[in-house]
Structure 1
Amino acid sequence: MDIAALKAARSVDVDAAAEGWTELARESWQAVNDIHANGVDPLKTDWKDRVGEAAGRKLEEQARILEAGADIMRGVAMVLDGLGATITRAKLTMNAALDMARDHGLTVDEATGTVRGPSGGADSSTDNIVQEVDALLQEALREASQADRQAAAELRKLGAATCETDPEKALDDLQGEASRVELNMYTGGIPDGKDPRLVSDWWAALSDNQRKQLMLSDPVTLADLPGIPDNVKLELRGGPGTKYDRVKTVQWALEHWDDTSIDAFDDNCTNFASEALHQGGVRGKGDSLFGWRGDDTWGRSTDPGDDWLSERVDYSKSWAGAQNMHDFMMRHGGQEIPADQVRPGDIVYYEEDSDQDSQDTKGAIHHTAVVTAVTPDGDIRYTQHSGGMKNASVDGRIDAFQEHRGHQKLHYVRVNPDWY
Structure 2
Amino acid sequence: MVDFAALKNAHPSSWQAAAEDWLSLSKHALEAAQEIRDQGSRPLKDNWTDAVGQQAAGELRYLADRFEAGADIMRGVTMVVDGLASAMEYAQRTLLHALDLAEAYELDVDADGSVSTRGEVTSEKLTHMTDVSDLIKEALRQAREADALALPELNRLMSGTCEADPAKALDEAQTSASHTQMNILAAGIPKGDDPQVVRDWWAGLTAEEQRQLMLAEPVKIANLDGIPEDVKQDLRGRDGKYDRVKQVQWALEHWNDTSIDKLDNNCTNFASESLRQGGVKEKPDSGWGPGWSDDSWGRDDDADSGWLDERTDYSKSWGAAENLQNFMLENGGYEVPASEARPGDLVFYEQAGENEHIEKGNTHHAAVVTAVTPDGDIKYTQHTTSRQNVSLDGRLPATEKAEGEQRVRIVRVSPSWY
Q: Same fold (TM over 0.5)?
A: yes
**After superposition, what is the alpha-carbon deviation per residue over 1:174-205, rounded to whole angstroms, capped at 9, x for unaligned?**
11111111100111111111110110000000
Q: Which residue of 1 aligns with 2:107?
A: 106
**Pairing of 1:317-356 with structure 2 (within 5 A):** 317-355=316-354
Q: Which residue of 2 aligns with 1:307?
A: none
> Displacement, 1:123?
4.9
Please say if residues 337 and 410 of structure 2, whose CA atoms lie closer than 8 Å, have aligned partners that are also in contact: yes
Please say if residues 106 and 118 of structure 2, whose CA atoms lie closer than 8 Å, have aligned partners that are also in contact: yes
> Displacement, 1:40?
2.7
Please say if residues 186 and 217 of structure 2, whose CA atoms lie closer than 8 Å, have aligned partners that are also in contact: yes
Matching of residue 243 in structure 1 with residue 244 in structure 2? no
Taking every aligned residue pair, what percent have the same amino acid on both sides? 50
Q: Which residue of 2 aligns with 1:385?
A: 383
Secondary structure (helix, strand or coil) at the match of 1:373 reads strand
Matching of residue 37 in structure 1 with residue 35 in structure 2? no
> Displacement, 1:416?
0.8
> Displacement, 1:47?
3.3
Q: How far apart are the structure 2 equivalents of 1:286 and 1:99?
A: 57
Change in Cα spacing, 1:192 to 1:395, as seen in structure 2 (3 Å) is same
Q: Which residue of 1 aligns with 2:282?
A: 284
Q: Which residue of 1 aligns with 2:178?
A: 179
> Displacement, 1:290?
2.5
Q: Which residue of 2 aligns with 1:253?
A: 251
Q: Which residue of 1 aligns with 2:200?
A: 201
**After superposition, what is the alpha-carbon deviation per residue over 1:36-91, rounded to whole angstroms, capped at 9, x for unaligned?**
22223333443344333322222111111111111111111111001100111111
Secondary structure (helix, strand or coil) at the match of 1:152 reads helix
Please say if residues 83 and 182 of structure 1, whose CA atoms lie closer than 8 Å, have aligned partners that are also in contact: yes
> Displacement, 1:378?
0.3
Matching of residue 230 in structure 1 with residue 229 in structure 2? yes
> Displacement, 1:145?
0.8
**After superposition, what is the alpha-carbon deviation per residue over 1:117-171, rounded to whole angstroms, capped at 9, x for unaligned?**
004x965441000000001111111111111111112111111221222212211
> Displacement, 1:358?
3.1
> Displacement, 1:258?
0.7
**After superposition, what is the alpha-carbon deviation per residue over 1:324-351, rounded to whole angstroms, capped at 9, x for unaligned?**
1111111111111001100000000011
Please say if residues 82 and 182 of structure 1, whose CA atoms lie closer than 8 Å, have aligned partners that are also in contact: yes
Aligned AA (2:250) = W
Q: How far apart are the structure 2 equivalents of 1:145 and 1:188?
A: 9
Q: Which residue of 2 aligns with 1:88?
A: 89
Please say if residues 379 and 393 of structure 1, whose CA atoms lie closer than 8 Å, have aligned partners that are also in contact: yes
Secondary structure (helix, strand or coil) at the match of 1:382 reads strand
Matching of residue 362 in structure 1 with residue 360 in structure 2? yes
- Taking structure 1 as the reference length, the TM-score comes to 0.94
Matching of residue 300 in structure 1 with residue 289 in structure 2? no
Q: How far apart are the structure 2 equivalents of 1:47 and 1:284?
A: 59
Q: How far apart are the structure 1 equivalents of 2:408 and 2:294?
A: 25
Q: Which residue of 1 aligns with 2:306?
A: none
> Displacement, 1:313?
6.1
Change in Cα spacing, 1:266 to 1:125, as seen in structure 2 (3 Å) is closer
Matching of residue 398 in structure 1 with residue 402 in structure 2? no
Q: Which runs of 5+ in 1 are unaligned?
A: 304-309
Q: Which residue of 1 aligns with 2:305?
A: none
Please say if residues 302 and 313 of structure 1, whose CA atoms lie closer than 8 Å, have aligned partners that are also in contact: no
Q: Which runs of 4 or more aligned residues in structure 1 lie more than 4 Å from their structure 2 counterparts after TM superposition? A: none
Q: How far apart are the structure 1 equivalents of 2:210 and 2:301?
A: 38
Q: How far apart are the structure 1 equivalents of 2:122 and 2:163?
A: 60
Secondary structure (helix, strand or coil) at the match of 1:220 reads helix
Q: How far apart are the structure 2 equivalents of 1:373 and 1:8?
A: 30
**Pairing of 1:27-176 with structure 2 (within 5 A):** 27-111=28-112, 113-119=113-119, 123-176=122-175
Aligned AA (2:57) = G
Secondary structure (helix, strand or coil) at the match of 1:139 reads helix
Secondary structure (helix, strand or coil) at the match of 2:356 reads coil
**After superposition, what is the alpha-carbon deviation per residue over 1:247-274, rounded to whole angstroms, capped at 9, x for unaligned?**
0110111111111110111110000000
State the aligned residue count: 411
Q: How far apart are the structure 2 equivalents of 1:333 and 1:388?
A: 28
Matching of residue 5 in structure 1 with residue 3 in structure 2? no
> Displacement, 1:380?
0.1
Q: How far apart are the structure 1 equivalents of 2:135 and 2:189?
A: 12
